[in-house]
Amino acid sequence: MENKNFGLTQADFDRLVVDLKRNDTFFFEQVFTKQFEETIVYLKREYRADHEDSYDAAMDALIAFRLRFVQGKLSYGNLRFLFTKMASQMYLKSKKNKVQTVDNDLLVNEETVETENREMSLEFNKAWQKLGEGCKDVLTKYYYGKMKLLEIANELSKSPATVRKQKERCVKKMKELISVEI
């Protein structure tokens, strides 16, 4: 069973979910980067994909996997199969996009679309770097870790109302910082 789950036990799996909700990706990085090469080899063999496309698809699958973990959409079972399947889907999707781009003779080419999807906004990034660590922590847990305000409140030993207020203040602060940047 553990072999089907990248060597993770059920307890490891549960810990991974908790870590990711707090945006602690250390364990996630350790476990999944080990599988990266295997996935690249699989994509190259099955789809005759080139190295860069395989790398991108495996990376996209990792990002999508993290989201499913924090959303509670993955269960302990056969993560290896799911991950390979997801990387395959990512690869096929990128190929489909490429074909559509050519067929439709769009002005926005595939490279631009990829860049927009995969990279951060420069203005948002600048604003984000100026935000206080406390705000970053709350916003990251809420928006990226999909934690409920109650969960964050319990973790920070604060009342939910305090955390809600803090989140509102942080969003307001972020809006102010963004308005300076754009």
Partner 1 sequence: MKKKLHHLISEELSEKETDEIMGALVTQQMNAELRQRLAHTLKEKHGIIRSAERGNGKIKYLNYMLAIAASITVLIALVFYPNWAGDSPQVLAQQYLSEQPLSHPGTFKGATVVDEQRTQAIVAFNQGDFTKAATHFNALEAPTAEDRYYLGLAYLKNGDYEQAVPLLVESKTKGKRFTQEAQWFLGLAHLALGNTESAINELKAIGKDEWKYKEAVSLLEQIH
Binding site for partner 1 (CB under 8 A): 23, 25, 29, 32-34, 36-37, 40, 51-52, 55-56, 59, 62-63, 66-67, 111, 114, 116, 118-126, 128-129, 139-140, 143-144, 171, 174-175, 178-179, 182
Q: How far apart are CA 138 and CA 134, in angstroms?
A: 6
Q: Which is nearer to partner 1, 126 or 158 (CB)?
A: 126
Q: Which is nearer to partner 1, 1 or 45 (CB)?
A: 45
Q: At what angle do helices 10-21 and 51-71 cross, to 10 degrees?
A: 90
Please name which of 24, 2, 29 lies closest in space to residue 13, comparing C-alpha atoms: 2
Least distance CB 1 / partner 1 (angstroms): 25
* 3-state SS string for 134-159: HHHHHHHHHHHCCCCHHHHHHHHCCC
Least distance CB 116 / partner 1 (angstroms): 6
Q: Which is nearer to partner 1, 11 or 120 (CB)?
A: 120
